[in-house]
């Protein structure tokens, strides 16, 4: 069994529960605080190794039981954020699980065994598409195994409340506002406490790195939503950053890395990072059309493992599609590969 280190700390009146995860982000944090006598938890962590045991142990250390917690907000659908929702509900049937509409629809769809055949078909099609973007054919089966495995370990728990952008959870004298922040995940939300201007950012804004921008699997029924273009993920993300900037949070409490005490400065750093990447990509393809995979190798290196090669490629694709939609670049199909060049 994978064993993880864990610790808890307090930022004013918010408990930060930090436990290792076996991913590049190193650890995941969930937050626990009280508002008008109700205990609120942000995210449900990971259901792997001894993560669950460590989490409940830390709750006990701060003299809180899962039965004491009234609400659990899910920022997005990834396995290190939804892992223990079924456990929470089993131990405390009264806890209110809250998540965005898109998160609920995706979790329900991809965790339903009746959909596995459809999911496998979509994953195979996506893997073939990656080959057209330049990824070596030998990687197809590995990408298929990775993405389909990710879907099969996802667990669904029916939420008690489904929310959308700008919905508010009202308490006696205060409220928590739901801010839809698509980019890292299409159903991603941040939770804003208007009493103290704290923002719980999930993976939307991190202190040291920029979150991965891109989609894995999307419920096909969601793509019929005429109000949302699921292809231009970077445009969604950049708009979401502006929304958070307009809120002017006092501090940002992310699911990974450090507390952010300079929110506006960090938001501008992230925007500058993406602007630089866009300009770097334009410079690369100005006089030489390239496949997205060729671009990703230049940006992220040749020595990546399978999952990071996939993430690098999807990150580059997000930037290329953003530029393509602005008609700054165009794609050319040649020898069953997509190349991108400046218009």
Residue with tokens 């409340």: 161
User: What average pLDDT does the chain have?
Assistant: 91
**Number of separate helices (H) and strands (E) present in the chain:** 10, 14
| H or E element that contains 100 | strand 96-100
Q: Tell whether 87 and 179 lie within a shared domain.
A: yes
Residue with tokens 């938001």: 267
> According to the model, what pLDDT value does residue 215 have?
64
How many independent structural domains does the chain possess? 2
Q: Tell whether 167 and 224 lie within a shared domain.
A: yes
CB 235 within 8 A of CB 221: no
Range of the domain at 287: 112-151+273-342
Which tokens belong to 196? 């103290």
- Phi, psi (degrees; rounded to nearest 5) at 32: -130, 130
Instruction: Flag whether 266 is in a domain.
Output: no
Q: Is pLDDT of 1 > 60? A: no
Report how far residue 121's alpha carbon sits from residue 127's, in angstroms, rounded to the nearest whole number. Answer: 10
Q: Tell whether 95 and 191 lie within a shared domain.
A: yes
Q: Tell whether 173 and 283 lie within a shared domain.
A: no
Q: Tell whether 254 and 186 lie within a shared domain.
A: yes
Q: Tell whether 173 and 254 lie within a shared domain.
A: yes
Task: Work out the pLDDT band at 262, boundaries 50, 70, 90.
Answer: very high
CATH code: domain of residue 311: 1.10.10
Q: Look up residue 19 and give its DSSP letter.
A: E
pLDDT in tens, 95-104: 999 999 999 9
pTM of the model: 0.93
Domain final position from 215, 239, 261:
261
Q: Is pLDDT of 2 > 60? A: no
CATH code: domain of residue 233: 3.60.15.10
Q: What share of the chain has pLDDT > 90, as a percent? A: 69
> According to the model, what pLDDT value does residue 119 have?
83
pLDDT in tens, 20-60: 887 776 889 999 999 999 999 999 999 988 899 999 999 99
Domain final position from 207, 229, 261:
261
Q: Tell whether 171 and 81 lie within a shared domain.
A: yes
pLDDT in tens, 158-187: 999 999 999 999 999 899 999 999 999 999
Q: Tell whether 76 and 121 lie within a shared domain.
A: no
Domain final position from 238, 261, 284:
261
Q: Tell whether 277 and 175 lie within a shared domain.
A: no
Task: Work out the pLDDT band at 221, boundaries 50, 70, 90.
Answer: confident
Residue from 28, 35, 36 nearest 14 by CA: 35
Q: Tell whether 186 and 246 lie within a shared domain.
A: yes
Residue from 205, 225, 219 nearest 164 by CA: 225
Instruction: Flag whether 107 is in a domain.
Output: no
């Amino acid at each position: 069994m994978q064993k993880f280190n864990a610790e808890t700390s307090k930022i004013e009146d918010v408990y930060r529960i930090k436990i290792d995860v076996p991913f590049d982000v190193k650890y995941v944090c969930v937050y626990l605080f009280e508002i008008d006598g109700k205990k609120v938890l942000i995210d449900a962590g990971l259901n792997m190794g001894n993560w669950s045991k460590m989490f409940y142990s830390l709750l006990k250390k701060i003299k809180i039981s899962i039965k004491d917690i009234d609400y659990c907000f899910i920022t997005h659908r990834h396995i290190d954020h939804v892992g223990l929702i079924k456990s929470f509900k089993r131990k405390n049937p009264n806890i209110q699980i809250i998540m965005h509409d898109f998160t609920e629809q995706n979790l329900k769809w991809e965790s339903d065994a009746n959909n596995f055949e459809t999911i496998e078909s979509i994953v195979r099609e996506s893997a073939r598409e990656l080959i057209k973007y330049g990824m070596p054919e030998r990687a197809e089966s590995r990408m298929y195994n990775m993405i389909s495995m990710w879907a099969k370990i996802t667990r669904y728990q029916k939420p008690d409340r489904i929310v959308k952008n700008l919905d508010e959870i009202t308490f006696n004298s205060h409220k928590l506002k739901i801010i839809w922040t698509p980019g890292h995940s299409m159903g991603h939300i941040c939770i804003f406490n208007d009493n103290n201007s704290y923002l719980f950012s999930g993976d939307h804004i991190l202190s040291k790195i920029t979150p991965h921008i891109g989609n894995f699997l999307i419920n096909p029924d969601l793509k019929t939503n005429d109000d949302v273009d699921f292809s231009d993920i970077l445009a969604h993300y950049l708009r979401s950053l502006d929304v958070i900037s307009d809120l002017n949070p006092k501090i940002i409490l992310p699911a990974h890395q450090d507390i952010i005490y300079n929110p506006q400065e960090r938001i501008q750093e992230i925007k500058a990072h993406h602007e630089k990447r866009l300009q770097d990509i334009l410079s690369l393809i100005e006089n030489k059309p390239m496949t997205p995979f060729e671009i990703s190798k230049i940006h992220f290196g040749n020595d990546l493992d399978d999952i990071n090669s996939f993430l690098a490629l999807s990150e580059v694709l997000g930037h290329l599609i953003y530029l393509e939609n602005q008609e700054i670049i165009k794609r050319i199909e040649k020898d069953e590969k997509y190349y991108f060049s400046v218009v």
